[in-house]
């Protein structure tokens, strides 16, 4: 009846969904309150700030479309992270995997001239593969040598960003770039269609929703998913049950990186139509996807909602810049505060439950 190691947290999380929801909401409210204080210190009325955000993102058609556009990469990468975290693969490298997806897709778009019907699927496939491989190295290092996956995935983000930098300054610099650092424009057949009147590249959106559904099905309805869950919830038990740790977690890592790679494909094929600076491709989606996954509490379908929520946060950065002349860094303040309160409150919840239980034992 004793609890084993730190994994009691997970167990406690799934147990009372109502309380998890209540605590998450409380954490978000606290984060917004803290952000309000920061706005006030900056000289902007928090009331005005939130009024503007709500009006311009939730109650404006184009504003909401922008939130949805930002939610696309967040959902793809976020679903991947949900899967990775469930399998105890601490992938902080979605940013780098996303960039690798963008690189691979750009490579196909610029150098492989296939018929349009083949070109885009080829780009997505290449992006999935590249993102997956970028996650594979840390996964192998973790599973075979016990190397800390947080640190390796994190470090590889920077390597990926410099890889993009090298490509756009060097071999892939566009002939039409006039000396700037970006590739040539993709041919029309390598760009994604948009929902008219918006910048929402709908094929990637569909793909993201499909990915959420498939990962949910895989986790809940397949033997492989069952194994991932056992490894995540109780690694000791997994060992007793002779679950092949390497194969199961490695596959989860591959898919996780691959989904982030797809997000990268969507950004270059749907938004930019060329390979360009790493920080212009991504705006930090790979890091924000960690919040998406954390908020979703291990549920791929939940990530649909949380990705949209974080998409609204990104869109509010635009709104506040335009209406209140505030720097886009506002989104980092939101991101940081939300994540901070979220992980702190999560432990508080667990702590409370744990006290009650130990009382019973005594």
Partner 1 sequence: MEDLVWTTLIRALAFGTPILLAGLGEIFAERSGVVNLGVEGMMALGALAAFAVAQSTGLPLLGLAAAVLAGAVAAALFAVAAVSLRANQYVAGLALTMLGLGLAGLLGKPFEGAPLAHTLSETSLMALALLLALALWFVLRHTYWGLVLRSAGENPETVDAMGINVFSVRYAAVVFGGAMAGLAGAFLSLAYRPSWADGITSGLGWIAVALAIFASWHPLRAVVAALFFGALYHLSYRLQAQVTPELLKAMPYLFVVLVLSLSALGRGPSGAPEALGTPYERGERR
Partner 2 sequence: MRKVFLTVLVVLLGVFGWAQGDKLKACWIYVGPVGDYGWSHAHDQGRIAAAKALPWLETQYVESVPEAQAEAYMDRLVKQGCQVIFATSFGYMDSVLAAAKKHPNVIFAHATGFKRAPNVATYMADFYQLYYLNGLMAGALTKSNKVGYVGAFPIPELKRHISAFALGVRAVNPDAKVLVRWIYEWYNPAAAKEATEALIADGADVFAFTEDSPTVIQVAAEKGLPSFSHYSPMQRFAPDYVVSGQLVHWDKIYIDFLSKVYAGVYTPKNLQNVDYWWLLPQGAVELGGKFGEPINPKFIPVLKAKVVDHPVFGKISVYDLVMKELALMKDDELAFDPFQGPVKDRHGKLRVPAGLRMTKQQLESMEWAAPGVAGPWPNEPK
Contact residues: partner 1, CB under 8 A:
5-6, 38, 41-42, 90, 92, 137-138, 141, 145-148, 150-152, 154-156, 158-159, 162-163, 165-166, 169-170, 287, 290, 294, 326-327, 329-337, 339-340, 343-344, 346-348, 351
| CB 16, CB 24: distance < 8 Å | no
State which of positions 41-80 bind partner 2 (CB under 8 A). 62, 66
Phi/psi for 115 (5° steps) reads: -60, 150
Binder to partner 2 among 111, 145, 171, 325 (CB under 8 A)? 325
C-beta atoms surrounding 16 within 10 Å: 13
- x/- mask, partner 2, residues 202-241, rule CB under 8 A, reads ----------------------------------------
- Cα of first residue to Cα of last residue in the chain, in angstroms, is 13
3-state SS assignment for residue 148: coil
Tell me which H or E stretch contains 153: helix 149-169
85 binds, among partner 1, partner 2, none (CB under 5 to 8 A by kind): none
Supply the minimum distance, in Å, between the C-beta of residue 309 and partner 2.
20
Site for partner 2 in 263-292 (CB under 8 A): 271-272, 276, 279-281
| Residue among 357, 281, 331 nearest 11 (CA) | 357
Q: In a 3-state reduction of DSSP, which class is residue 239? A: helix
Minimum CB separation of residue 227 from partner 2 in Å reads 41
25 binding partner (options partner 2, partner 1, none; Cβ < 5 to 8 Å by kind)? none
Name the site residues for partner 2 (rule: CB under 8 A).
62, 66, 169, 173, 178-181, 185, 199, 271-272, 276, 279-281, 318, 321-322, 325, 327-328
């Amino acid at each position: 009846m004793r609890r084993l190691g730190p994994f009691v947290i997970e167990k406690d999380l799934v147990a009372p969904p109502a309380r998890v929801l209540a605590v998450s909401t409380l954490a978000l409210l606290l984060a917004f309150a803290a952000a309000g204080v920061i706005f006030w210190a900056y000289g902007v009325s928090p009331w005005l700030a939130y009024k503007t955000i709500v009006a311009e993102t939730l109650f404006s058609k184009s504003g909401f479309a922008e939130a949805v556009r930002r939610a696309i990469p967040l959902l793809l990468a976020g679903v991947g992270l949900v899967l990775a975290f469930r399998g105890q693969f601490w992938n902080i490298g979605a940013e780098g995997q996303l960039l690798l997806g963008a690189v691979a897709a750009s490579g196909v778009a610029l150098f492989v001239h296939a018929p349009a019907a083949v070109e885009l699927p080829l780009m997505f496939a290449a992006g999935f593969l590249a993102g997956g491989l970028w996650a594979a190295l840390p996964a192998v290092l973790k599973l075979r040598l016990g190397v800390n996956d947080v640190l390796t995935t994190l470090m590889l983000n920077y390597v990926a960003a410099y890889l993009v930098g090298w490509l756009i300054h060097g071999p892939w610099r566009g002939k039409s770039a006039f000396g700037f650092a970006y590739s040539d424009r993709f041919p029309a057949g390598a760009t994604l269609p948009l929902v008219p009147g918006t910048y929402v590249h709908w094929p990637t959106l569909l793909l993201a929703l499909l990915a959420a559904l498939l990962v949910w099905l895989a986790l809940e309805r397949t033997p492989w998913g069952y194994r991932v869950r056992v490894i995540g919830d109780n690694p000791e038990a997994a060992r007793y049950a002779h679950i092949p740790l390497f194969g199961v977690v490695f596959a989860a890592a591959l898919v996780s990186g691959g989904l982030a790679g797809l997000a990268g494909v969507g950004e270059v094929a749907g938004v930019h139509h060329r390979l360009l600076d790493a920080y212009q491709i991504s705006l930090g989606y790979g890091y924000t996807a960690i919040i998406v996954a954390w908020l979703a509490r291990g549920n791929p379908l939940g990530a649909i909602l949380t990705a949209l929520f974080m998409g609204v946060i990104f869109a509010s950065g635009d709104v506040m810049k335009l209406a209140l002349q505030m720097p886009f860094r506002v989104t980092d303040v939101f991101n940081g505060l939300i994540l901070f309160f979220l992980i702190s409150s999560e432990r508080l919840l667990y702590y409370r439950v744990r006290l009650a239980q130990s009382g019973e034992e005594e």
